[in-house]
Amino acid sequence: MNKKTLGIGIVGARYGARMHHANYMSLTPGLVEIRGICALTEESAKTFAEDIGVSFVTTDLDELLVREDVDVIDICTPPASHHEIAIKAAEAGKHIIMEKPLTGYFGEPGDAEPIGFHVPRAKMRAGAIQNAEAVREAVRANKVLFCYAENWVYAPPIVKMRNLIAASKGSVLELRAEENHSGSNSFFSKEWKYMGGGALLRMGAHAVGACLYLKQWEGQHRRGKSILPVSVMADTADLIHTEASEYAKKANAHQWISSDPVDVEDWANVVIKFDDGSRATVLVSDVGLGGLNTRVTAYMTDGVVKANMTANNVIETYAVDPETFAGENFTEKLETKAGWNRPSCDEDWFRGFSREIEDFVHSIHESREPLSGIDLAVDVVHVIYAAYQSAEEGRVIQLSTK
């Protein structure tokens, strides 16, 4: 039986929206059709729509939500607007695809700015959890599907890691997850009021999400119930604005790092304790040169599995002049194409972007939960904001995820 073509309305018109569109286009023809673009400015919406051949453009979300031919709202906006758009979409009966993170704390009347310097993390944590739970309640109350775009869950190295864990008889004692690069160029990444945090939320959502997913999956596979996080201990810093970087700045030896936060962190280290006694360590940094580095290692009682989602050696290049291969993409965040490099053959596939979109579309067609859904999205917010509170207060924070 032929499946109905899903009508997609994309909210947002920049990098995330374009990446999602590219992966929709790799699906079997007839599964989806982009039927509308909504963006903050008419100019950006029109530019994106013209590039992809979509006629309906608006800056008013309600105009997109009332369209009967739009079945799914794909949210690719900065995090500050995520939870409000998601709740309105759910109340309109639309299924939801959302770029990570789900939400955060973005300030409220009376908060002195920049809020990252003035608002206690305990208050931020309460506000972020309230936003996250409001989305989950709206999704459940309106019986729509929520697809959380956590690509690490779908990345082939993580999928293989899960299969290898299943093949063993041992247990995972520790997970170590890491993401490093030389900084985001997004204006929104510099301030808490737009992003809801710094590297820990923007990048750490990947690493935290992967660790939570793997432990929940291990628990279901081994004992029939999820292994859940119970406490968090963390440290965060703005390393590019420390005394340690001053000498480099005077010598003009820091220009390859674009990180320049206002009131957010560019480095974080988090230890998560699970209810089976195991641990996960998450390290994220916006001040790491060498291109994008993403990896997860599982230390087991009977083996070790390392999943590397960026570096590979299936193809290698060498160039004296960085412009030699200028016209071809290598991998995200690479500072130079000079010297030896290892380009990604298919970055969207290898890092899980194409697989997540495929799962989301099929889950909506089949009325089933996606592999990465609302519960994982909410749990990530719980853990990351507990980490922010831990870093500020210098103590272990207990969790109450559900």
pLDDT digits (tens, 9 = 90+) for 228-263: 999 999 999 999 999 888 888 877 877 888 888 999
Q: What are phi and psi of 282, to 5 degrees?
A: -120, 125
Q: What type of residue is 239?
A: L
DSSP codes, 11-52: E--SHHHHHHHHHHTTSPTTSEEEEEEE-SSHHHHHHHHHHH
Structure tokens at 196: 């809801």
Q: How far apart are CA 315 and CA 78, in angstroms?
A: 34
State the alpha helices, DSSP H only, in 119-185. Answer: 121-141, 151-154, 156-167
Q: Across-strand partners of 346?
A: none
Whether residue 101 is preceded by a cis peptide bond, meaning omega within 30 degrees of 0, is yes
Question: Where does CATH 3.30.360.10 sit in the chain?
Answer: 152-354+383-398
Task: State the pLDDT at residue 401.
Answer: 56
CATH number of the structural domain 152-354+383-398: 3.30.360.10
Q: What type of residue is 48?
A: F
Beta strand pairing status for 229-237 and 267-274?
Answer: antiparallel
Which residues fall within 8 angstroms of residue 170, CB to CB, at 6 or more apart? 300, 301, 302, 303
Task: State the pLDDT at residue 1.
Answer: 40
Question: Where does CATH 3.40.50.720 sit in the chain?
Answer: 6-149
User: In this structure, are residues 37 and 48 in contact, taking their beta carbons and an 8 Å threshold?
Assistant: yes
Q: How far apart are CA 292 and CA 290, in angstroms?
A: 7
DSSP codes, 221-286: HHHSS---EEEEEEEEE-GGGSGGGHHHHHTT--TT-----SSS-SEEEEEEEETTS-EEEEEEES
What global pTM score does this model have?
A: 0.93
- % of the chain residues with pLDDT over 70: 99
Angle subtended by helix axes 204-223 and 156-167, to nearest 10: 30
Task: State the pLDDT at residue 120.
Answer: 98
Counting as low any pLDDT under 50, the low residues of the chain are 1
User: In this structure, are residues 31 and 5 in contact, taking their beta carbons and an 8 Å threshold?
Assistant: yes
Task: State the pLDDT at residue 2.
Answer: 55
What distance lies between CA 4 and its chain's CA centroid?
A: 29
Task: State the pLDDT at residue 291.
Answer: 81
Whether residue 370 is preceded by a cis peptide bond, meaning omega within 30 degrees of 0, is no
Structure tokens at 157: 């190295």
Domain 6-149: which topology? Rossmann fold (3.40.50)
Residue in 392, 15, 384 with CA at minimum distance from that of residue 203: 384
Q: Is 336 left (phi over 0), alpha (psi -120 to 50) or beta?
A: beta
